[in-house]
Structure 1
Amino acid sequence: MGYSVLKELWAFRRSVIFWFIPIAASPLPIYFGVAEKEFYKEAACAYVVIIMAFYWMFEVVPLAVTALIPLILYPVMGVQPSGDVSKNYLKDTNVLFLGGLMVAVAIEHVNLHKRIALRVLLVVGSQPRWLMLGFMLATAFLSMWISNTATTAMMTPIGAAVLAELFKEEDDQAAEEDTIRKVRGESNGGLELETIDVEGQTHVYDAIADENATKEHNEDEEKPEVKEKVSSRRQSMQKGLMLCIAYAANIGGTATLTGTSPNLIVSEQMEILFPGSGGVDFLQWFTFAAPGMVITLFLAWLWLSTLFVGCRCAEECACCGGKKRSGAEEVIRKAYDELGPISFAEGGVIFHFLLLVLLWFFRDLKFVDVGDRQAGWAYYFIPGYVTDATPAMIVSFALFVFPSRPPRFLCCRSKDDEEKPGPVPGLLNWPTVHTKMPWHIVLLLGGGFALADGVEKSGLSAWLGQQFSRLAGIEAWIICLIVCIGVAVFTEVASNVTATSIFIPILAQMAEGICVNPYFLMVPAGIAASFAFMLPVATPPNAIVFSYGGIKVSDMVKTGFLMNITSLLVLMVMVNTLGVPIYGIDTFPDWAVCRSGAIQAANSTINSTMLMTTL
């Protein structure tokens, strides 16, 4: 009876959580609303945070729908006016992300992402180890600019096709052996049914039959071993290649500010909670995160190739063993040739993509001192008016205007063109954007910003900062490591947007509580939110490759555990080295408030001893 009740409750777990969490947490605002009214706003905000955390964690309703809760509960409970809450859903960072997504949609629309991926695979060759490297390089690069979900969804079928060709010869050989065995089985059956009446020759037939049976028995014993060996090698390669795609998608998104949502949440929270900090721009993030991404990707390739392919370097090296043209390479070559030469539309998208990247990089060169103004091309505009969202919108707008084919106008029109003169469609059109744009991400980001804004405006953040001031005696790098581990573990069971939306505002107050540079905790935590390698539910890329079959949860846990440790170690080394010149984490900034009463020198100085301890 008890088991059946629990089974029923588990089937309706989302409905149970939907009602249970608000009711269980309701004493919090009720008590402070009656007994201690001066602390009511903080309690009401904490109530909303608790509800959203559980709803996001267990996906009680779609994540984007949960992100709308501040629009309902903040005004109703007196935390913030509805107009103030609504402003968070289309902030500058949302516009930046929207522009980046439009460029990504254009890249997908003209199939440029497929051309890039196939070209990389052709360069690295068709040997298993180098194929894995090629898939990881292509996936990571695309994930820097396109959503990791879309990148994985595109690369996974390509990987499956390459694997099929890689083992095509073995499949054909196995099918031929099965056919021969069937034919032999039919003839042997005929012999067994045949009656021999010759007297005195029975013992001879028995001896021959015994000999044939023994031979067939030995063959049957040998063939399963061979097949089992081939099947095991194929399964291992399939697991390795699929995990390479998923992990590279997760890692690649950490390199750019627009690569994944947690990066943008960190940038926006810096501007919300610390207006005087200057926030985080594209160049700053890339300079810090890209080297760590490359190192993590290389270590991931070494680990996955060793685990699933082995250490047969001499056999597979193009220099030592000779590079053979296999069926897998033929499939890649055929798929690439089918794309044809680079089209006018692809060239147009490449131009706009490079233009956007250059505008992002050279907008504000912080390492060049020109006084109070920005050193990049934004120098010619009013300070603070132009942000990374501005070039994103410029390029996105241009994609709808720039022609997708050479214009048919006077001398530009070819002689063979029989169409009527007139404008040609642009590189992008609204139906394509409407279909391919992940609109829910914009709401999801907005919900996180609204949640954090309410935490600050209600005074909950100040209260949290006072509580965290008790940790001021602990080394800052130890707290940073614990924070990154906690965020990475939490991300295994919840989306990375959920993890950063909940933890980043809290970490900002923790930084002020222990008197360390907020960048020291917030930036590594944002990157650690993408290090989810152990469970299929951790990220969409993990779920996509898991759904293809052949991968068990135990495989992902075993492989992902070391990946998590390696990624976090690389992250700690990066933050303790590059973090000093880029973010100045070795000093406590004047735009933050030290809530512990005095700045702890031991917590704000990065020295060689700490770095060696981290390593």
Structure 2
Amino acid sequence: MASRSTRSETPASPTRVRRVGLLAGPLAAGALLLIPSGLHAVPGMDHRPAAAAAVAAWMALWWFTEAVPMAWTALLPLVLFPALGVFGTGGIPASLGRAALPYVDPYIFLFLGGMALGAALEQWHLHRRIALLIMRAIGTAPQRLLLGMLVATASVSLWISNTATAVMMVPIGMALIAQLEASEGRRLEHFGAALMLGVAYAANVGGIGTKIGSPTNSVFAGVASRRLATEVGFLEYMAAALPFVVLFVPLIWWVLWRTGRRDALGPGKGVDVIQRELSALGPLSAGEKVVGTVFLVAALLWMGGDFLRPALASWVASAFGGFKLLGKHYEAGVALLSAGTLVLLGRLSLRALARVPWDTLLLLGGGFALAAGIEGGGLSTYMAARLEGLESLGPTAQYGAVALSTVLLSAVASNTATVNVLLNVLPGSLPLLAVSTFASSCDFALPAGTPPNAIVFGSGYVRLPTMMKVGLPLDLLAAALLTLYGLVWVRFVLG
């Protein structure tokens, strides 16, 4: 997040918001527990829906206001679900077991393995080489340079974290701007803003495209598995999500170029910067070759899982006493095996692993635990009855309402917090939940929702009015495109 002075706090300052959130969380939980409402009268459920709602409200308020570190909030179900009897009879040990089980969900290990592979790409700078080669291939005229930055950033963000992608691409973008400014002999305020915003926006959107591209995608897969008893395969997810990335990146380019072209740039010398950066990397090293090979094999195994898993499942069932190998077990196994191979080959160091955001795993586990409590406590049944009005709407209105509300919420809350809450209360339609997941990464107007948006503020080319002026139309475009995309494509792939 961008740093802000705390000398003269205002009611809207981050510190004040956190203090309010710190109190609002437990107060809201207490109100839901103590004040009689329909939640206390769900047939056969006694107090459990109210207890689940209390924990959900507490977690949502702390997540949205960032009152405490988000990973700490994610641990609340371990204490509150057993204490409040959310899972009903069975005693504290059984309730604790049900609350703890989601923290070791296979999708968490899939994301862990994916983050480890991303750390290996970063350790050997292979992601940087890939990005530079993509930019050189697209071209170095100003409009092509902007498109190349978008495509390169989105392509890398498919496989490593959005934040790491933005951190890597900002210095490349700054070097390109400096070269162009030296060639033009003036400051390129508009093109610089377009290029920096392109890094943030493409990092966010690129993460939509694969299961390991963003924590939100793992949340979606976990909710689909637990709430709908549906396994969304790696290739199936890519088929649903990746076309949106391909469609939306050119729209981002079109909106940003309307800003960037105001500097009336000449041909520029961006090619010199790209070639210099590639030369600094030197020839492809042995480490890069090994990491690239392991990563490619992992990607092929993930994408071919629907064809390979049935034969493997039969062997696993006979070897391990009838254990049912689900898609999430297979994908997590591929991820961990690939990461372990790189460690054993000495191509993934402990120092690189230490940079992995381990707290994200707790955040995912807390989201899955929240989903389990909402389902096990009967709150999902209660919410489904309350949301009958949304389900009675036509498909266009449903997708439009979900896409727009998710985009707006993700502008003021992190995308992971947004999906952790929304995916557990929206109607149980897999395509609808997928559209909400995609929309959570479409935050373009404010720096609060995603780290890439905040990172580019350090460049000196992006100001809040500029981000809002460019980002608000993109927010609306994303909601409109996702409405149409959900109706035409996602329903076809996941319906």
TM-score (norm 2): 0.89
Alignment of 1:8-23 (within 5 A): 12-23=16-27
CA–CA separation in structure 2 for the residues paired with 1:337 and 1:472: 57
The equivalent residue for 2:443 is: 532
TM-superposed CA distance for 1:506, in Å, is 0.7
Among 326, 339, 363, the alignment partner of 1:396 is 339
- Please, which moves more after superposition, 451-460 or 540-549? 540-549
Structure 2 residues not aligned, in runs of 5+: 1-7, 88-94, 318-323
Alignment of 1:313-332 (within 5 A): 326-332=268-274
Deviation readout 1:346-372 (Å, 9 max, x if unpaired): 00011001101100011104xxxxxxx
TM-superposed CA distance for 1:72, in Å, is 1.9
TM-superposed CA distance for 1:36, in Å, is 6.0
Change (3 A) 1:427 1:133: same
CA–CA separation in structure 2 for the residues paired with 1:353 and 1:460: 41
**SS at 1:364 equivalent:** helix
The equivalent residue for 1:254 is: 208
TM-superposed CA distance for 1:18, in Å, is 1.3
Change (3 A) 1:35 1:566: closer
Alignment of 1:588-607 (within 5 A): none
Among 360, 366, 369, the alignment partner of 1:441 is 360
| Residues 363, 377 of structure 1: 8 Å contact kept | no
Alignment of 1:318-357 (within 5 A): 326-357=268-299
The equivalent residue for 2:131 is: 117
Alignment of 1:150-229 (within 5 A): 150-171=164-185
CA–CA separation in structure 2 for the residues paired with 1:311 and 1:162: 15
Matched, 1:292 2:212: no
Alignment of 1:259-270 (within 5 A): 259-270=213-224
| Residues 480, 520 of structure 1: 8 Å contact kept | no
**1:384 alignment partner AA:** L
Deviation readout 1:23-59 (Å, 9 max, x if unpaired): 3541321245998695311111111111111111111
TM-superposed CA distance for 1:569, in Å, is 2.6
Matched, 1:460 2:379: yes
Alignment of 1:489-504 (within 5 A): 489-504=408-423
Among 405, 416, 432, the alignment partner of 2:352 is 432
- Please, which moves more after superposition, 389-398 or 345-354? 389-398
Matched, 1:149 2:163: yes
Change (3 A) 1:291 1:13: closer
**SS at 1:341 equivalent:** coil
- Please, which moves more after superposition, 143-152 or 57-66? 57-66
CA–CA separation in structure 2 for the residues paired with 1:538 and 1:438: 17
CA–CA separation in structure 2 for the residues paired with 1:138 and 1:344: 23
**SS at 1:551 equivalent:** coil
Matched, 1:83 2:97: yes
CA–CA separation in structure 2 for the residues paired with 1:486 and 1:350: 39
Deviation readout 1:67-98 (Å, 9 max, x if unpaired): 11111211222224222111111211000000
| Residues 364, 378 of structure 1: 8 Å contact kept | no
**SS at 2:453 equivalent:** helix
CA–CA separation in structure 1 for the residues paired with 2:344 and 2:40: 61
Change (3 A) 1:9 1:380: closer
Deviation readout 1:535-561 (Å, 9 max, x if unpaired): 011211000002222212111111111
Deviation readout 1:467-498 (Å, 9 max, x if unpaired): 22244432132112101110110000000110
| Residues 165, 328 of structure 1: 8 Å contact kept | yes
Among 309, 325, 328, the alignment partner of 1:384 is 325
CA–CA separation in structure 2 for the residues paired with 1:35 and 1:162: 61
CA–CA separation in structure 2 for the residues paired with 1:549 and 1:9: 24
Count residues in correspondence: 470
| Residues 29, 53 of structure 2: 8 Å contact kept | no
**2:190 alignment partner AA:** S
Change (3 A) 1:20 1:263: closer
| Residues 432, 486 of structure 2: 8 Å contact kept | no
Alignment of 1:403-414 (within 5 A): none
CA RMSD of aligned residues (A): 2.5
| Residues 266, 523 of structure 1: 8 Å contact kept | yes
CA–CA separation in structure 1 for the residues paired with 2:471 and 2:184: 30
- Larger relative contact order (CA 8 Å, sep ≥ 6): 2
Change (3 A) 1:580 1:471: closer
The equivalent residue for 1:479 is: 398
TM-superposed CA distance for 1:399, in Å, is 0.7
The equivalent residue for 2:5 is: none
Over the matched positions of the two proteins, sequence identity in percent amounts to 32
| Residues 9, 16 of structure 1: 8 Å contact kept | no
Deviation readout 1:364-391 (Å, 9 max, x if unpaired): 04xxxxxxx9567667654535521111
Change (3 A) 1:7 1:170: closer
| Residues 149, 199 of structure 2: 8 Å contact kept | yes
The equivalent residue for 1:307 is: 259
TM-superposed CA distance for 1:124, in Å, is 2.8
| Residues 288, 574 of structure 1: 8 Å contact kept | no
Larger radius of gyration: 1
Change (3 A) 1:364 1:27: same
CA–CA separation in structure 1 for the residues paired with 2:293 and 2:391: 50
| Residues 363, 378 of structure 1: 8 Å contact kept | no
CA–CA separation in structure 1 for the residues paired with 2:243 and 2:425: 27
TM-superposed CA distance for 1:258, in Å, is 1.0
Change (3 A) 1:521 1:235: same
Change (3 A) 1:469 1:16: closer
CA–CA separation in structure 1 for the residues paired with 2:46 and 2:458: 48
| Residues 191, 263 of structure 2: 8 Å contact kept | no
Matched, 1:57 2:71: no
Matched, 1:242 2:203: no
TM-superposed CA distance for 1:267, in Å, is 0.7
Change (3 A) 1:51 1:555: same
CA–CA separation in structure 2 for the residues paired with 1:458 and 1:139: 42
**SS at 2:305 equivalent:** coil
TM-superposed CA distance for 1:289, in Å, is 1.1
- Please, which moves more after superposition, 469-478 or 67-76? 469-478
| Residues 124, 130 of structure 1: 8 Å contact kept | yes
Among 446, 461, 475, the alignment partner of 1:550 is 461
The equivalent residue for 2:3 is: none
Deviation readout 1:492-546 (Å, 9 max, x if unpaired): 0000110000000111xx24xxxxxx11311100111000000011211000002
CA–CA separation in structure 1 for the residues paired with 2:150 and 2:102: 36
Matched, 1:41 2:48: yes
TM-score (norm 1): 0.72
Change (3 A) 1:548 1:9: closer
